[in-house]
Structure 1
Amino acid sequence: MNKSLSSVPEFVLQCFIDSGQWSYTIAALFLIYLISFTGNFLVVLVIIMNPQHQTPMFLYIATLAVVDLMNSTNLIPRMLAAMIYGPLSVSYGPCALQVHVEGHILVVETLLLSLMAVDRYVAVVYPLRYPSLVTNKTVLVSNVIAVIIITPLTILLTELIFCISNSLPSCFCDYPTMVQIACNDDPKFLTYLSTITVIFAFGPLLLILFSYIRITQAALQISSVEGKKKVFSTCLTHLLVVGTIYIPLFLSYMLPGLGIPLSIEAYNTLIIVGNTVPPMLNPIIYSFRNKEIKGSILKLLTGTKPRQEIKNY
Structure 2
Amino acid sequence: MHHTPNEFWTRTPTSLGLSLGDKQMILFVFLLLGYIIILGGNSMIIFVALTDPKLSSPMYFFLSNLSFVDMFYTTTTIPKMLSSFLSDTTTISFLGCFLQMHFFVYLSVTSRAILTVMAFDRYVAICNPLRYTSIMTWPTRLLLIAGAWSFSTFCTLPPVIITWMEPYCGPNVVRHGWCDLSSVRQLACADTSVDNIVSLSFALVALLTTGVLILTSYVLIGFSIWMKGVTQRLKAFRTCAAHLTVVTISYTSSSFVYISYRVGNFSPEVQRSNNLTLIFTLFWLIYSLRNKELRDSIRRTLSRFRSAVSATKDINTVS
TM-score computed with the length of structure 1 as normaliser: 0.87
Hey, what does 1:301 align to over in structure 2?
Answer: 302
Q: Aligned pair 1:252/2:236, yes or no?
A: no
Would you say the 8 A contact 1:15–1:83 is kept in 2?
no
Hey, what does 1:274 align to over in structure 2?
Answer: 278
C-alpha deviations, 1:195-239, integer Å up to 9, x for none? 1111111221222222223222322322261x3222111222111
RCO comparison, higher one (Cα < 8 Å, 6+): 1
* Offset at residue 66 of structure 1 (A): 0.1
Hey, what does 2:160 align to over in structure 1?
Answer: 154
Hey, what does 1:31 align to over in structure 2?
Answer: 33
1:73-152 correspondence to structure 2 within 5 Å: 73-134=75-136, 135-137=140-142, 138-152=144-158
Hey, what does 1:185 align to over in structure 2?
Answer: 191
d(CA) in 2 for partners of 1:100 and 1:153? 9
Partner SS for 1:136: helix
Would you say the 8 A contact 1:16–1:264 is kept in 2?
no
C-alpha deviations, 1:124-144, integer Å up to 9, x for none? 112233334432121022112
Hey, what does 1:213 align to over in structure 2?
Answer: 219
Pairs aligned (count): 297
d(CA) in 2 for partners of 1:267 and 1:304? 41
Would you say the 8 A contact 2:113–2:210 is kept in 1?
yes
Larger radius of gyration: 2
Hey, what does 2:315 align to over in structure 1?
Answer: none
Partner SS for 2:14: strand
Hey, what does 1:263 align to over in structure 2?
Answer: 267
Amino acid at match of 2:169: C
Amino acid at match of 1:42: M
Would you say the 8 A contact 1:57–1:119 is kept in 2?
yes
Hey, what does 1:290 align to over in structure 2?
Answer: 291
Give the helix-richer structure, 1 or 2.
Answer: 2
Deviates more, 1:36-45 or 1:152-161: 152-161
* Offset at residue 111 of structure 1 (A): 0.8
d(CA) in 1 for partners of 2:283 and 2:192? 38
1:267/1:255 CA distance change after superposition, 3 Å: closer
* Offset at residue 192 of structure 1 (A): 1.7
C-alpha deviations, 1:108-131, integer Å up to 9, x for none? 111111111111112111223333
Partner SS for 1:144: helix
Partner SS for 1:103: helix
Would you say the 8 A contact 2:16–2:91 is kept in 1?
yes
Amino acid at match of 1:204: T
1:162-177 correspondence to structure 2 within 5 Å: 162-177=168-183
Partner SS for 1:5: coil
Hey, what does 1:6 align to over in structure 2?
Answer: 4
Hey, what does 1:310 align to over in structure 2?
Answer: none
1:35-74 correspondence to structure 2 within 5 Å: 35-74=37-76
Would you say the 8 A contact 1:15–1:87 is kept in 2?
no
Identity of paired residues, percent? 26
Gaps of 5+ in 2: 307-319
1:220/1:198 CA distance change after superposition, 3 Å: same
Partner SS for 1:12: strand
C-alpha deviations, 1:4-62, integer Å up to 9, x for none? 31222121111145x46433322211111011000000000000002332332111100
TM-score computed with the length of structure 2 as normaliser: 0.86
Partner SS for 1:183: coil
Q: Which of these residues, 15, 18, 29, is aligned with residue 15 of structure 1?
A: 18
1:87/1:190 CA distance change after superposition, 3 Å: farther
Would you say the 8 A contact 2:155–2:205 is kept in 1?
no
Deviates more, 1:20-29 or 1:6-15: 20-29
d(CA) in 1 for partners of 2:61 and 2:264? 40
d(CA) in 2 for partners of 1:129 and 1:302? 36
Would you say the 8 A contact 2:2–2:167 is kept in 1?
no
d(CA) in 2 for partners of 1:119 and 1:34? 30
Gaps of 5+ in 1: 306-313
